[in-house]
A and B are shown apart, each in its own frame.
Chain A
């Protein structure tokens, strides 16, 4: 009697694990399928480029203010904290290198991607989820308009184009913020700040690698947001859950991928 009870419990736990595993794998496969369908049907988003431009406006231009302000403050804090530590070793002139390298290599792409997932990703998920709930997507299919070509692909390309631009602006504004704190406020030498930075930041190894990172994050964040919206259950609760999942999964994906990309870039 006890033995069979235990067996039932174990099978229930195993069944739970199996169910989750199958569901996750299914979602991963469905996401990959949506990604390839988006690539295949993306001809229209270039033929009718104003569709993509509209989405660039909503994902990129509208996120600009957030990116500029956060970049500015991140740069200022980096300069303050960095100066505090570097000054103990008598190398406060290296503050420019510290600010520039941490922004261009890591913080620029990563923080921008996290902000992008929160600002633009959620909007995409909620919009597409609501389109699905109100049966706009089905209506499109009825009119022989492919919703992937008309709705998904322009948003995908918009995210892919916006993300590197936003990350670059973030890094540049952050460096300006760091400059403002380091030079006029703290009194680090102006020439040393820029010349040490120029001597140690490499265009290929640092700036281009940062751009590659932000491009990958752009693809991943936009794709997660699109898939969560496209896959959301057509209820109010379903859309809200999908929006939450977009932020959570995007953040995990960005931070995890950042480690993988960095380890590849530093080895090669």
Chain B
């Protein structure tokens, strides 16, 4: 076999390999989507983070605006402290809500940010004070059973509260449900 022919074929072979690798990285992997430029990090404390993991997406209005950097347990307040990195391009008001949602019924969990109305924006190292925990299925079921068993009075009250302003009261209602759920058992 001629040496130049071999060179040509090996060149094609290597080019194909590089192309396949680029294809894997760009089209299959998250090289393009995970590229966040300059970021600032804020923390948020949750009572329960569910199955949230580092690198989980942070979304606002469904758009990925950042990633979860790390999650640690605070042994003083017994809460999980989640550090999230948000793209510098997006500024959020100081009273932004951080909720943990689940994508689909069995999907991965992510942090959802809902902007508040404050004039001041979140800065690097700030703490988001208004948070809502991950939904725990057992808790929800016990809450449902309890509310079924209790009088219709409390049920309508809870329904009203949810319809008036969802994020503000969902924190208190979830806190209440824990107590009620514990009492039921």
Contacts and interface: CB of A to CB of B under 8 A. Distances in A.
21 contacts: A50-B7, A54-B1, A54-B3, A56-B10, A57-B1, A57-B10, A100-B28, A104-B28, A162-B13, A168-B17, A169-B20, A171-B20, A172-B24, A173-B20, A198-B27, A198-B29, A198-B32, A203-B30, A203-B34, A207-B28, A207-B29
Interface in A100-136: 100, 104
Interface residues of B, number: 28
Interface in A198-232: 198-203, 206-207, 211
Interface in B1-57: 1, 3, 6-7, 9-10, 12-14, 16-17, 20-21, 23-25, 27-34, 55, 57
A207 B20 CA distance: 11
Interface of B: 1, 3, 6-7, 9-10, 12-14, 16-17, 20-21, 23-25, 27-34, 55, 57, 104, 106
Nearest to B13: A61
Query: Interface residues of A: mostly helix, strand, loop or mixed?
Result: helix
Contacts of B32: 198
A165 B106 contact: no
Contact of B17 (A54, A104, A165, A198): A165
Contacts of B1: 54, 57
B63 to A, nearest CB: 13
Given A57-B6, A169-B16, A198-B32, 12 more contacts: A50-B6, A56-B13, A57-B9, A57-B10, A60-B10, A165-B13, A169-B17, A169-B20, A197-B28, A199-B33, A203-B30, A207-B25
Question: Which 4 pairs from chain A and chain B are nearest by CB?
Answer: A165-B17, A172-B20, A203-B29, A168-B20
